[in-house]
Structure 1
Amino acid sequence: MIGGVQTAVAAIVIFLLLVVFHEFGHFYVAKRVGIFVREFAVGFGPKLFSRRWGETVYSVRALPLGGFVNMAGEGPEDYGLESGKSIAVRLDGAGQVEAFGDPRAVGQADFVGRLVSGPSRDDYSLRIEGEDGTRRYVLGPGAVLHAEGGAIPLAPYDRQFMGKPVWARATTIFAGPLMNFVLAAVIFAVYFTVAGVPSGPDVAKVLPDSPAIRAGIQPGDHIAAVNGEPVNSWDQLVKTVQSRPDQRVVLDVVRGNQHLQVTVTPEIRGGVGVIGISPVLVHNPLASIGLGIKQTWDISVQIVQAFGRMITGTLAPEVAGPVGIVAMIGEQTREGLMNLLTLTALLSINLGIINLLPIPALDGSRLVFLLVEAVRGRPVDPQKESMVHLVGFALLMVIVVLVTYKDVTRLF
């Protein structure tokens, strides 16, 4: 029971961490390029808590398995403003509209009449017909529309997502996946700060019954070269040995004042060569940052290569849905915090890469639409683009259901 609670808590925390970092990337860049952000939400469903800072509402919602950033003009917006409809207007101290819409929802109003025209791309105002003729009211910077769907803060076209240049929109979209890679690098940096980083090609331990111990390598040995090629770091040593499985290699070893040559044949494990030694570790936060970035890059390259091999059929597809991921989180929770950190970093990298794939409803698809817009000089019809994303989202949900079914059958 306790293990199940730990798994559930760990899964919720990890999912929230991945999503919040992703959405914060969109949010931060949107703010920087001047897009009006209505809401930054953690979770889905009914609001448990919300507070407005500046022009944005920050909320925590009931279902802690996601989040979103609501940007003005990100998709086609239909405010239900129909000509001839009764509309009420409340003005601020500067004489601009601070609230308008259904007279019953606006409350105390400065003017009530029939709508002639609503805000447009080129005219951020209302034209309302009353008994004494038609009046024009300019919408203020914090104007709120009270409609059937609730209160909707509006923004002029130059503050909307679609009102920004292609580079600003592309940067805003790309920032989400980018933050997943940043999160992974931070997690790996923390991991290496705690666990330590290799100080160099120095041997701390030699595994029993390994090629290294059979060749006479001892703890404390410094490996200066492999087959006459100098090695200056543990990573360089590992890559050199891994590339020579089942091949005899000559190591130049420094042991105290002695200079030795040792011949060893790496065993094949996981498709690469290993000799069974571990490095001397030091706790260096600065080096950990660099190693965290490098680890993130190396794993990202490996995942992309694996995707390519799956597409070409040279690697069997291995896909896990929410149930499978929770099962993995449960396993790593039992193994300890460091293993859980590593899994979180791997999930974050996977999320970043998957979101960059040109699949409808994902960030990669939106970047493709922006590339098309940049090439042809005008945007794709927003209604058509929204339909593509909607269909893509529906297909993704079907895939998630199928993968989840596979995960459940595999577990039980």
Structure 2
Amino acid sequence: MTALLTGLVSLLVFGVVILVHEWGHFWAARHCGIRVEEFSIGFGPRLFAWGKGETRYTLRLIPLGGYNLFSNPPDPEGEGEAIPPVHPPKPKTGLFPVVVRGQEFEQAGAWQRFFVTLWGAVMNFVLGFLVLLVLVLSMSNLGGTTVAQFVDDAQSSATGLQLGDTIVEVDGQRVRTANSLAQLFDGTTQQHTMLVLRDGELVTLTGVTVAPTTDEDGNVVSGVDFRVAAVSKTTRNVLVQTGEFFRYYSTAILGGFWQLATGQVGVDQLSGPIGTVSAVSQAVQYGWRDVLSLMALLTINVGIFNLLPIPALDGCKLLFLLFEGLTGHAVPQRFQMVVNTAGMVLLLWLMMLVTMQDITRFF
């Protein structure tokens, strides 16, 4: 039963993340008047297909991706020059206005194609924010930064912090929620400089010693020796809390990519679809909140990963389109094909590698 539930939840999580990403490209293309021949979720053999308007919608067997199929007219010169629209322009209105409906992808302007390429990742970020918003709304309390209680013999109280102080900065870093405050303490006893709001005035406290809170066995249960008061669930507080979680997730993901790029961590630390399913299995055991948290992490990860300037990913395509938009000259198609093919081979090799690592690790 657990395996079946894990499988269903995994399909749901993967499916929603992929659907939102591809729908972002699809919506942007339709907004720009670009014809989409096929909108597909998954790869491999086709399971279901239906047509509506000029687009064929398909669901395929392997739910590890998706695509929008744009039909591109042949370029007789083979050098990637922009192909002019086949219909006369119409009056321009709105964001990235429709020049002509039903146009091929390469007939659209460079900035329209840039918009279409970018919008997949944007929708992943939107999904991540909405999922985190649901999690924040489901919380019984939202933690603020006003000191409401000290543990027994708290060092922070003895070195300057007082009840009712609202912590504004710690060591020059701004804090707005209990979550962002907790991230600044690593569970060791250290001195900090704090800016607090006390009786309506900003006060700088130097040498505030903050020690962790431990249980009877000496295990750290909190990185600080004080507690903060809850804040009301106003629209502003909910959005601020959601934004803080989004920033935390994004920073952690970017930090991981940076560590990988600089060699601080190896490829052996990566995890693929099997590892993600294993994470889903663990999240299912803890409850729906953990599943949603994992979905938010996954969709933000997909959005950021797609924007990296790696050949075959949207990030590399955006660089080509940015060059075309700024200079008026397209990057030669042959060069793009070579770069993207090399990138695709590299990504396939990497996926095979992490999949084999997952199999070794979990089986």
Deviation at 1:335, TM superposition (A): 1.1
1:8-407 equivalences under 5 Å are 8-73=7-72, 159-196=103-140, 198=142, 200-202=144-146, 222-225=164-167, 233-235=176-178, 238=181, 242=185, 246-247=190-191, 265-267=210-212, 274-275=224-225, 277=227, 279-280=229-230, 282-284=232-234, 287-315=237-265, 318-407=269-358
Distance 1:189 1:207, change over 3 A: farther
Deviation at 1:303, TM superposition (A): 2.3
Report if the CA contact (8 A) 2:38-2:58 is conserved: yes
What are the Cα deviations for residues 39-91 of structure 1, in whole angstroms up to 9, with x where unaligned? 21222334333332222222333333332211222x8689xxxxxxxxxxxxx
Mapped to 1, the partners of 2:85 and 2:271 lie a distance apart of 50
Distance 1:170 1:239, change over 3 A: same
Q: 188-197 vs 44-53, which deviates more?
A: 44-53
Deviation at 1:396, TM superposition (A): 0.8
Distance 1:284 1:66, change over 3 A: farther
Report if the CA contact (8 A) 1:40-1:58 is conserved: yes
Distance 1:366 1:234, change over 3 A: closer
Distance 1:196 1:170, change over 3 A: farther
Unaligned runs of 5+ in 1: 79-120, 125-155, 255-260
Distance 1:372 1:207, change over 3 A: same
Deviation at 1:251, TM superposition (A): 10
Report if the CA contact (8 A) 1:196-1:283 is conserved: no
Whichever residue aligns with residue 238 of structure 1, its letter is: L
**Identity across the alignment (%):** 30
Q: 46-55 vs 163-172, which deviates more?
A: 46-55
Whichever residue aligns with residue 342 of structure 1, its letter is: S
> Which structure shows the bigger proportion of residues in strand conformation?
1
What are the Cα deviations for residues 73-110 of structure 1, in whole angstroms up to 9, with x where unaligned? 2x8689xxxxxxxxxxxxxxxxxxxxxxxxxxxxxxxx
The number of aligned residues is 329
Deviation at 1:383, TM superposition (A): 3.9
What SS class does the counterpart of residue 60 from structure 2 fall into?
strand
Structure-1-length-normalised TM-score: 0.66
Mapped to 2, the partners of 1:37 and 1:296 lie a distance apart of 32
Distance 1:411 1:51, change over 3 A: closer
Deviation at 1:34, TM superposition (A): 0.9
Distance 1:197 1:377, change over 3 A: farther
Mapped to 1, the partners of 2:118 and 2:30 lie a distance apart of 14
Mapped to 2, the partners of 1:122 and 1:314 lie a distance apart of 47
What SS class does the counterpart of residue 37 from structure 2 fall into?
strand
Specify which structure has the bigger relative contact order, considering alpha-carbon pairs within 8 angstroms and separated by 6 or more residues.
2
Deviation at 1:280, TM superposition (A): 2.2
Report if the CA contact (8 A) 1:193-1:285 is conserved: no
Report if the CA contact (8 A) 1:12-1:65 is conserved: no
* Bigger Rg over Cα: 1
Mapped to 2, the partners of 1:228 and 1:368 lie a distance apart of 38
What SS class does the counterpart of residue 37 from structure 1 fall into?
coil
Structure 1 equivalent of residue 216 of structure 2: none
Report if the CA contact (8 A) 1:76-1:383 is conserved: no
What are the Cα deviations for residues 213-250 of structure 1, in whole angstroms up to 9, with x where unaligned? 999x99xx643358999x99434981696399511678
What SS class does the counterpart of residue 271 from structure 2 fall into?
coil
Mapped to 1, the partners of 2:355 and 2:126 lie a distance apart of 28
Mapped to 1, the partners of 2:362 and 2:290 lie a distance apart of 21
